Chain A
Amino acid sequence: MANESVATKKYYWYEVSKKLDAFAKKIKFDQWKGWIYLSPAIVLLLIFTVWPIFNTVRMSLLEGYTTMTEINGATFQFGFGNFIRVIKYPGFITCLKNTVLLTVLTVPISTFLALLIAVCLNSIKLFSRALQTIFFLPYVTNSIAIGMVFAAMFNMIIGGNARPDSVGIVNNVIEFFFGEGSYINWMNAGSANPDGTASWANFTVMVVYIVWNALPFKILILLGGLQSVNKQYYDAAKVDGTSRARVFARITVPLLSPMIAYVVITGFIGGFKEYSSIVGVFGEGMGPVGNAYALDTMVGFIYRAIGKQEGTASAAALILFGIIFVVTMINLYVSNKKTHY
């Protein structure tokens, strides 16, 4: 009896599975299952990526759009007024100039330095692991915290005397080499600029900081690239009596060119989005004391615009997107010609 009931039970489940199969066939489950498996990711992407992009475009094209007034029932005219307002805004040109200048200065410098450091790290054996970790530290450190340390290193404490009470670590080093009194007012040199622009000294601080902050990622990528280069190329070059400089220029750089291209392209994109580093060093004022927003950037501009009018902020974001898009296209075009894959 017991055996019989087990057999019937088994048969019952067999029937169920058959029915399920038939149902799956009826609704063409095979066709849809790919979509069903993907659906969680697609839903998240739609909510957090596609909709924000779409909404940014929508907001930028509605004159004087703000969310609060929309909730209150206001309607907006369609037009390009937001874009015009952004371009006509007096601070906008400063932001654009600062962003472009910082990017154009820091990307080549940091890429070149990262390449040198990666090659050196790759060629030494002693302590290479420890040094790799040290060079990678800035990457895992909060950029605001680093910025505050940089600010302290460059800062001067004026006091009431003819000579400042303290000139800061960086100026101490400069005075050691160039004599007393050769200090530079790094942090607040631009305070007196009547036109609201930053001084070259302020810029230098930012360039040093951004380069230093950008190094670890670039070193990581380039070192990875170097370690994947077949050692036999170097052996072959050695047998052929190639000088170190020539090995670097004719073998290392071309073989690393895909990584270099990647580092440069992402560097440009990151450079155009520079914001937190400036806040870290110069504070929320984004400029020397008494000359706020002298070091403002595109992203800074967008953030401040969000608080006032989302339409303007969206328009500015789209302008930034356009710039990054064009620059990246140029980068890709150049790298396709120069890169060996």
Chain B
Amino acid sequence: MKVELQNLTKIFPGRDKKNPKDTVTVNDFTFTIPDGQLVGLLGPSGCGKSTTLYMISGLQQPSGGKILFGEDDVTNLPAESRGVGLVFQNYALYPHMTVKQNILFPLQNLKGPDKMTKEAMLERAYEAARLVQIDELMERKPSELSGGQQQRVAIARALVKMPRVLLLDEPLSNLDARLRLQTREEIRRIQRETKITTVFVTHDQEEAMSISDMIVVMKLGVVQQVGKPQEVYDNPVNLFVAKFLGTPPINVFEGSVTNGKLYIGDSAVLDVPGVDNREVFVGIRPEGFVLDKNGPLTCNISGIEVMGRDVSIVSTNEKSINPVVRSIINADSNVDATATEVSYSLKPHKVFIFDKETEERIYFEV
């Protein structure tokens, strides 16, 4: 099921005379989620990603714009008639029901021609439970399950009624780091198997990047960039997106462009043909540094972290916006541990320059 959002807007009106300002939580969001894809809504807290999700679910009414499931306009349909499955951040499993009763609950609500026999319901419930691998736990209460298991039950409950769209609100935020890795693979697998169009919300860019077919980066209610995770990472449209994606985060320097050359401090670090002279922010991905004794960018080393596969050099530069400059170098390259200075040359496609005023990307030919 394709999901289309057209100029979706949500405004929370000012509460009282003391706070008369309306809050625009989601501003003119237009986006089409292709059928059967896993889409991650990504942004810092307060960016309107959860509100968008709840508007798709029908639990919140948009202030403007339209939501279409396939060709159906569902904007004014109540949540119960939309056929969405929603997994809440803290799962919202009914604590007094067993896992089985929880999963059966949505099916027992069906009325009229959709009404199912007890056997058919049980069969469907076990099918969903097998899909998320909890069919052994059907008689337990939610309080007797681990966080990861509760998460699976919540997904099974959302899937059991065969929703047109599956929505996940911060699905991994309540899990520990190890389980998070496991569960995100699991969500990916379940989504692939069921081929249900899935939207999930997260503030963790790694999580979004690793499993989504597409990501939507949002900031203060406004969509910044939409695209495949790698594309967005490789081609951020503005400083915010560049900073938000990637671990370790991108290194940002103050710089300037003079006569087609990019300067950080006094050193010309890169040729940037076709860019007018101006003040800029320079974003350099940690993997964009190349060790080069004669390299133009020199930083003072403050530490070296060896992580097996590669080496991370932590250094400082007075033009850096971040407190430290972090580069990731292949472990094979020889790093002099006693050196106090390190010089880099840069990989042009890992360097982005942004206008100092608008923070929009300035493109140059590589």
* A residues with CB within 8 A of B: 230, 232-233, 235-243, 246, 250-251, 254-255, 257, 340
CB-nearest residue of chain B to A251 = B94
Tell me which of B85-93, B194-202, B243-251 binds A. Answer: B85-93
Nearest-Cβ distance from residue A218 to partner chain B, whole angstroms: 21
Q: How far is the CA of A230 from the CA of B94 in the complex (A)?
A: 10
Q: How far is the CA of A239 from the CA of B85 in the complex (A)?
A: 7
Q: How far is the CA of A230 from the CA of B80 in the complex (A)?
A: 19
Contacts of A240 in B (CB 8 A): 80, 105-106, 109, 157, 161
For the complex of A and B, list the 5 residue pairs with the smallest distance between their C-beta atoms, beginning with the closest: A241-B80, A340-B96, A232-B92, A240-B106, A254-B96
Contacts of A257 in B (CB 8 A): 96
Q: A241-B106, A250-B105, A255-B95 are in contact. Are A236 and B80 (CB under 8 A)?
A: no
Contacts of A232 in B (CB 8 A): 88, 90, 92
Contacts of B262 in A (CB 8 A): none
For chains A and B in complex, what number of residue pairs have CB atoms within 8 angstroms?
A: 59
Q: How far is the CA of A304 from the CA of B90 in the complex (A)?
A: 59
Q: How far is the CA of A233 from the CA of B154 in the complex (A)?
A: 12
CB-nearest residue of chain A to B85 = A239
Contacts of B108 in A (CB 8 A): 246
Q: Give the bracket for the number of chain B residues in contact with chain A.
A: 20 to 34
Nearest-Cβ distance from residue A233 to partner chain B, whole angstroms: 6
Contacts of B85 in A (CB 8 A): 239
Q: A239-B59, A239-B79 are in contact. Are A255 and B96 (CB under 8 A)?
A: yes
Q: Mark B197-223, 1 if CB is under 8 A from A, else 0.
A: 000000000000000000000000000
Residue of A230, A240, A243, A257 with most partner-chain B CB within 10 A: A240
Q: Let me know if B57 is at the binding interface, CB within 8 A.
A: yes
Contacts of B59 in A (CB 8 A): 235, 238-239
Q: How far is the CA of A243 from the CA of B81 in the complex (A)?
A: 12
Contacts of A246 in B (CB 8 A): 108-109
Extra pairs beyond A242-B105, A246-B108, A254-B97 (14, CB < 8 Å): A230-B92, A232-B92, A233-B92, A237-B105, A238-B79, A239-B58, A239-B86, A240-B105, A240-B161, A246-B109, A254-B96, A255-B96, A340-B95, A340-B96
Q: Let me know if B84 is at the binding interface, CB within 8 A.
A: yes
Residue of B59, B84, B111, B157 with most partner-chain A CB within 10 A: B59
Nearest-Cβ distance from residue B132 to partner chain A, whole angstroms: 17
Contacts of B92 in A (CB 8 A): 230, 232-233, 235-236
Residue pair A233, B94 in contact (C-beta under 8 Å): yes
A-B contacts, 21 of them at CB < 8 A, read A230-B92, A235-B59, A235-B79, A235-B86, A235-B88, A236-B86, A236-B88, A236-B92, A236-B157, A238-B59, A239-B57, A239-B84, A239-B86, A241-B79, A242-B80, A242-B105, A254-B96, A255-B96, A257-B96, A340-B95, A340-B96
Residue pair B80, A238 in contact (C-beta under 8 Å): yes
Main DSSP-derived SS at the A contact region = helix
CB-nearest residue of chain A to B90 = A232
Q: How far is the CA of A240 from the CA of B84 in the complex (A)?
A: 8
Q: A250-B105, A340-B96 are in contact. Are A241 and B81 (CB under 8 A)?
A: yes
Q: Mark B62-98, 1 if CB is under 8 A from A, else 0.
A: 0000000000000000111100111010101011110
Q: How far is the CA of A232 from the CA of B80 in the complex (A)?
A: 15
CB-nearest residue of chain A to B106 = A240
Contacts of A254 in B (CB 8 A): 94, 96-97
Contacts of B95 in A (CB 8 A): 255, 340
Residue pair A239, B96 in contact (C-beta under 8 Å): no
Q: How far is the CA of A235 from the CA of B105 in the complex (A)?
A: 14
Contacts of B81 in A (CB 8 A): 241
Q: How far is the CA of A340 from the CA of B92 in the complex (A)?
A: 16
Contacts of A255 in B (CB 8 A): 95-96
Nearest-Cβ distance from residue B40 to partner chain A, whole angstroms: 20
CB-nearest residue of chain A to B163 = A239
Contacts of B157 in A (CB 8 A): 236, 240
- A242 touches which of B58, B88, B97, B109 (Cβ 8 Å): B109
Nearest-Cβ distance from residue A46 to partner chain B, whole angstroms: 42
Contacts of B78 in A (CB 8 A): 238
Contacts of A239 in B (CB 8 A): 57-59, 79-80, 84-86
Contacts of B109 in A (CB 8 A): 240-243, 246
Contacts of A233 in B (CB 8 A): 92, 94
Contacts of B88 in A (CB 8 A): 232, 235-236
Q: How far is the CA of A236 from the CA of B109 in the complex (A)?
A: 12
Contacts of B111 in A (CB 8 A): 243
CB-nearest residue of chain A to B96 = A340
Q: How far is the CA of A165 from the CA of B88 in the complex (A)?
A: 66
Q: Mark B31-59, 1 if CB is under 8 A from A, else 0.
A: 00000000000000000000000000111
Contacts of B58 in A (CB 8 A): 239
Q: How far is the CA of A293 from the CA of B78 in the complex (A)?
A: 59
Nearest-Cβ distance from residue A54 to partner chain B, whole angstroms: 43
Q: How far is the CA of A340 from the CA of B94 in the complex (A)?
A: 11
Nearest-Cβ distance from residue A3 to partner chain B, whole angstroms: 54
Contacts of B96 in A (CB 8 A): 254-255, 257, 340
Interface residues of B in 251-298 (CB under 8 A from A): none
Interface residues of B in 120-171 (CB under 8 A from A): 157, 161
Contacts of B110 in A (CB 8 A): 241
Contacts of A235 in B (CB 8 A): 59, 79, 86, 88, 92
Nearest-Cβ distance from residue A73 to partner chain B, whole angstroms: 63
Residue of B92, B108, B161 with most partner-chain A CB within 10 A: B92
Q: How far is the CA of A183 from the CA of B81 in the complex (A)?
A: 51
Residue of B90, B96, B111 with most partner-chain A CB within 10 A: B96
Nearest-Cβ distance from residue B82 to partner chain A, whole angstroms: 8
Nearest-Cβ distance from residue A229 to partner chain B, whole angstroms: 10
Nearest-Cβ distance from residue B197 to partner chain A, whole angstroms: 16
CB-nearest residue of chain B to A238 = B79
Q: How far is the CA of A254 from the CA of B80 in the complex (A)?
A: 22
